[in-house]
Every structure is written in structure tokens, then in C-alpha cells.
Chain A
């Protein structure tokens, strides 16, 4: 217990790092995932920019990358991180890996939520003379916004989970703290302090996500 009190500054810093890694990954991975998901949606057969080749390519790409366990992906993507960022370690490389790894998963969630929009509503927009990109901006995304927020809430929780292995490539965060000070030093109290912080994070994310979605969907 005393040990934990000593470690409080480190815990605070780790918590802050997690928040910052998750937020940055959400921005990069979230936008990339949104674009890939939109690509899947608009090119699928019968959709507004139907394109069999493009759809197949995106679909296969997503299916290849999505199932790779993150701990392996983080190592596999390291050379690319070095190329792009100049370094394969640290929080920057971690954000890089999470953003790319999560983008493919997010794209499926985006695609599924877009598919909940009634095809009739899209047809009404087409009948009004709107073009595909205009429909995406003015109808598709606004109509799917509620479910999309719930989807991204789910994604945020997954991102918190992904940050936990950040220590492997020298990244920080609450997962690294738990392993370094709790697990490796045989101090379950420290580990559980980290767990508690994660629980609080997840609860807060879910609470605000649900509240926002409720507000958007007006129910």
C-alpha cells in the first residue's frame, strides 16, 4: 500500500498517457476507419457508387488486416513506423500502430452502422436529385449518427485495451504501469490500482457515449 502511495505520480502520468494515446488513435484511426467504412458502404453492390472491383479490394484488405492479433501487428508494423516516423518505439509508434490496426476494425463497425440507414431514405435523396457525395454528407452520416456514436464508444473502449500492450515497444500508459510496477514487482495492489483506473475510464467513456447517442437519437 505504501508502495502504491509512492507510485501515485507515476500512476497519474500513466493514466494521462493512456488518455492521450487513446485520443490521438481515435482521431487518426477513427477518421481512417470512417473513410474505409464509407468506401465499403458506397461501393457495395446496389449502393450509390456501386463498384465491384473497389468493393472487393477494400473488403479483402479489411479481412486480411482485421484479424491479426494486435500484439503481433504492433511488431509487424514497426518497420513502417520507422519509415514514416523515424522511430519504431515510444508513444508515437504506439499511436501509429493502434491507428492503423484499429482503422480496419472501425471500418466494419462504420459499415454496419451505415447499413442501418433505410435504403428508401437514400432513394428519396437520389429522387431529389442529390449526388452520391452530397448524399453521404447530408443524409447518410446524419441519419446514422446515433448508431455511429455508439459504435465509436465501443471502439474507444477497445482502444483503451489496445494501449495496454504499449510497453512492448517502449510506450507508456496504464497497461505499462501495471506490468512494470505491479506484475513484475509482485505487487497486486499496484496492479489493481491500474485496473481501477481502467474501469473508471471505461465507465466514463460508456456513460458519455450513451448520453450523446441518446441526445442525437432523441430517445
Chain B
């Protein structure tokens, strides 16, 4: 996507048009699980609908698998959609059709022969673990099962790209992880690129390889999931990260810490690639400073660790200064005032 803008006509005559997407450029590569996170109204649902043409961009360029889709007529757009699967927050299954018929639908739209459809439906239901539910209707299924049918339906035509619009937001935590691990298999075993829209940072953490943070119709931060989680640059990103990672204490939390702990409060930040944590504790112990862990934790993202540990330090002022200076030479140290 390059410089994509989507605006809607003003709701009242003479008003300003409502800009949902305000100049977004984004590149998703084959095999990515690209997470897009933002609050409600940040424009992320609109963004994902631009990719399969359910919404038309006002300006800018969108290229899917080498095809520029912004200039396509609705009829040719339908062909492109055959190579893009989509799953939804409310599953959007056809209640009047059986599970098997739901999965068969995109294949029927594509005009595939009946024998191929039957074989493909059996295969997809086995993949999502619902072979025994083929003849059931959606209202006989649990939320997690419905989303698995949704995934089977979205992948029936073997698309190279899957759009997931808040796919787990209507599910309980246990079912969420079940659906997330299925999506992980979709990416790893079938090689499907996934664009994942969510407001839950946990979903990004457990599934995405890259992330873009949306706020007010713009992308305010993007990058490798590990980088954004361990060093968020934008306030909006930092707020999202703080929902799942106990990092640096906020000013309010620092005040609470002060009422409970004497001494100086210092945050040590760690990122993978070094074992400085052990060294930090060694150096503190060597100077005879009393230290106590009061806030923070170490997190793991796809096998890479990072975290912030906030300690209360008690001892001679000069000794603490010296220790912090030494530690600061190889690790990140921030004193909280």
C-alpha cells in the first residue's frame, strides 16, 4: 500500500469528510504474519477491507500479488478476492447452510467441479479438526468451532493471503489460544500470509512477526514485533505494550512504590543478546548495596527475551552512584525520580 487515503462523505451537509485512513503506506511480504493494532475507530478494519476491495480507496495505490487493485472494476475485483481469504470477529457463517456447505461456498463461487469441492471440503474440515461436524449447522457449534469453520471457509480456495479482522475478539481466552495456534499452523504449514487486525496486544505477541500500530487513521509505529515490544517509540504503542508487558512503572505507580520502599528507585532494561542481568546483580552485590526487585519482569517473544526490572536500592549515595555508572557502561539504566 502506498499513500492510501480513505475518506467518507461528511455525515452532515457542509461538514468535513470523515477521513478513516490518512495516508498509509505499508508493505506485507510473503509469509509474514503482519499484525495491525489500534483502538476502535483507529481505521484498522477499514484498512484491511481496502486490501480485498470491500472498501474502495479514495486515493493511493494498493498492489496485491502484483495486481494494482485500486483501478479494478468490481467484476475483476471478484477474481482477486478468490486469492484472498477473510475471517471475521462475528464469524459471519451462513446459518442456513451446513458446515460443509459453508466451506464449499467460495469453491462454488469460483465454479470448481463438484468432485473437487467435496474433496477440498473434507480436507479443510480435517485441517481445522471439525470432520465430525460437516453436517451440523453453525448454530449448533461453539464460538471457537465457528471460527474454525470460518478459517476453513476462508482457506478453501487455497488463497495466498488471509485477512483476519478481530478474529479472536469474540472468543474466551482459552478458545482464543486455540484459534491462534490454528492460525499459526495456517501460516507455517500452508505458507499463507496473514494480515491480522486486533486491539489485543496479546494476539500480536503470540502470533505476529511484524506489527503496525494505528492511531487516528495513520500508522504511528511499525516494525519487528520484538523491537516494538521491547522499545516502543510512540505513546500509543507504549500503551498497547503496557497492556501485556509490565515494563517501566508509570508516574502513578512510582508514587505507590515510594510509599512502600525506601531508597533510590532504578530501572534496568534488558534485551536479548547479552546476559547482563547476572552481571548487574553481581555488581550491585559487590558494592554491598541492598537491593530489592519492586516492579517489572522478563518477557519472551518468539524465543527472544527482553524486560525491565525496577529495583529499590539502599546504601551510601556515592556507592550507588559508582555502581550505576559501572552498570551503565554495559546495560541500560534509568533512575526514576
Query: Which residues of chain A have a CB within 8 Å of any CB of chain B?
Result: 118, 120-121, 123-131, 134, 138-139, 142-143, 145, 218
From A118, A123, A124, A130, residue with most partner B Cβ within 10 Å: A124
Are B94 and A142 touching (Cβ within 8 A)? yes
Answer whether A129 and B88 are a contact pair too, CB < 8 Å, given A142-B97, A145-B96.
no
Contact residues of B between 51 and 107, Cβ < 8 Å to A: 52, 54, 75, 78-79, 81-82, 84-86, 88, 90, 92-97, 105-106
| Chain A residue nearest to B52 in the complex (CB) | A127
Answer whether A143 and B94 are a contact pair too, CB < 8 Å, given A123-B88, A127-B86, A129-B81.
yes
Give min CB distance, A147 to chain B, whole Å.
11
Give min CB distance, A164 to chain B, whole Å.
36
Task: Select which of A121, A128, A139 is within 8 A of B106 by beta carbon.
Answer: A128
Cα distance, A118 to B96, chains bound together (Å): 12
Give min CB distance, A27 to chain B, whole Å.
24
Residues of A within 8 A of B81 (CB): 126-129
Number of A-B pairs whose CB atoms are under 8 Å? 61
Are B78 and A124 touching (Cβ within 8 A)? no
Give min CB distance, A149 to chain B, whole Å.
12
Give min CB distance, A51 to chain B, whole Å.
13
Are B109 and A130 touching (Cβ within 8 A)? yes
Are A121 and B92 touching (Cβ within 8 A)? yes
Task: Select which of B92, B108, B139 is within 8 A of A124 by beta carbon.
Answer: B92
Answer whether A118 and B92 are a contact pair too, CB < 8 Å, given A124-B86, A131-B75.
yes
Give min CB distance, A133 to chain B, whole Å.
12
Instruction: Tell me if B190 counts as interface (CB < 8 A to partner A).
Output: no
Give min CB distance, A88 to chain B, whole Å.
43
Which 3 A/B pairs are nearest by Cβ-Cβ distance? Answer: A124-B92, A128-B106, A129-B81
Instruction: List 7 A-B pairs, Cβ < 8 Å.
Output: A120-B90, A121-B93, A123-B92, A124-B94, A127-B81, A142-B94, A143-B94
Residues of B within 8 A of A131 (CB): 75, 78
Interface SS, A side: helix
Task: Select which of A118, A121, A134 is within 8 A of B109 by beta carbon.
Answer: A134
Instruction: Tell me if B291 counts as interface (CB < 8 A to partner A).
Output: no
Residues of A within 8 A of B52 (CB): 127
| Chain B residue nearest to A146 in the complex (CB) | B96
Residues of A within 8 A of B96 (CB): 142-143, 145
Instruction: Tell me if B298 counts as interface (CB < 8 A to partner A).
Output: no
Cα distance, A134 to B85, chains bound together (Å): 18
Residues of A within 8 A of B153 (CB): 124, 128
Are B88 and A138 touching (Cβ within 8 A)? no
Are A120 and B106 touching (Cβ within 8 A)? no
Are A129 and B92 touching (Cβ within 8 A)? no
| Chain A residue nearest to B83 in the complex (CB) | A129
Cα distance, A129 to B108, chains bound together (Å): 10
| Chain A residue nearest to B78 in the complex (CB) | A129
Cα distance, A120 to B165, chains bound together (Å): 12
| Chain A residue nearest to B77 in the complex (CB) | A129
Residues of B within 8 A of A130 (CB): 78, 105, 109
Residues of A within 8 A of B322 (CB): none
Cα distance, A131 to B75, chains bound together (Å): 8
Given contacts A125-B105, A127-B52, 12 further A-B contacts (CB under 8 A): A120-B90, A124-B88, A124-B93, A124-B94, A127-B54, A128-B82, A129-B81, A131-B78, A134-B109, A138-B105, A138-B108, A218-B139
Residues of A within 8 A of B94 (CB): 121, 124-125, 139, 142-143
Residues of B within 8 A of A128 (CB): 81-82, 105-106, 109, 153
Task: Select which of A120, A134, A138, A218 is within 8 A of B92 by beta carbon.
Answer: A120
Give min CB distance, A60 to chain B, whole Å.
21
Give min CB distance, A113 to chain B, whole Å.
13
| Chain B residue nearest to A119 in the complex (CB) | B92
Give min CB distance, B198 to chain A, whole Å.
17
Residues of B within 8 A of A125 (CB): 94, 105, 109
Cα distance, A118 to B91, chains bound together (Å): 11
| Chain B residue nearest to A48 in the complex (CB) | B74
